Amino acid sequence: MLIAGNWKMFKGPGETDAFLGAFEPPAGVEVAVCPPFVSLAAAVASGRTVYAQNVHWEPEGAYTGEVSAGMLLELGVHGALVGHSERRQLFGETDETVARRARAALEAGLRVIACVGETLEQRASGDTDLVLTIQVEAIAFAVGEHERLVLAYEPVWAIGTGKSATPEQAQAAHAFIKRLLDRPVLYGGSVKPENAADLLGLASVDGALVGGASLEPDTFGAICRAAASSS
């Protein structure tokens, strides 16, 4: 069971120090934090498992604003997110670039959490399975069933909205993804202490990618404890 906290564009180095000083993960669950690039060093210094929020597919070059897998490894980072819905929607990530980022990170030795998921319009039109098939197969074609790869199912309509997939919706989506690519699948979409136990107790859910609820030690700790109880 893996619980990853995606801090998005929150918490500079000072806030990262304060958070990790106050947060103690429970036994029985793997916990990772995904701070902004400027806070990675502070997080690594805490001795916790740290993932970056993105990684480029080239080892170096004229790619202003990007960070390579080798740079992250040198810093002591354990892994990286790729393909988060905000990267896809706001910054033009495509299935191709997500797959390239995943392949480069895995080949360099990082772990990867690769995100997939449908929008509200795609779900409403009955295209959830089609969207997931296209996204997952792009990753599968690039990296296969790599031992350091984890997927994260993010129903885009449930991110930052306070809405969450029902346990039935989450279970169906996770089971479908695993039929496409046999790797662990985290649930990401308004995970909070109130729904964590129900979601994490599902047969096909292998953890959670937590957004807003990961920003406070108390709420993130409650989700981690729910995961430990479900393991």
Q: Are 112 and 142 in contact (CB under 8 A)?
A: no
Residues in the chain: 231
Catalytic option among 86, 93, 118, 154: 154
Q: Could you count the other beta carbons within 10 Å of the beta carbon of residue 5?
A: 26
Q: Are 140 and 180 in contact (CB under 8 A)?
A: yes
What would the two tokens of residue 116 be? 């997939």
Phi, psi of 187 (to 5 degrees): -100, 135
Catalytic option among 56, 84, 146, 174: 84
How many angstroms separate the Cα of 76 from the Cα of each of 67, 71, 79, 153? Answer: 14, 9, 9, 27
For the question of residue 84 being annotated catalytic, the response is yes
What would the two tokens of residue 179 be? 């039929």
How many angstroms separate the Cα of 47 from the Cα of each of 32, 43, 76, 173, 228? Answer: 11, 7, 10, 34, 20
Q: Are 154 and 209 in contact (CB under 8 A)?
A: yes
Residues recognised as catalytic: 84, 154
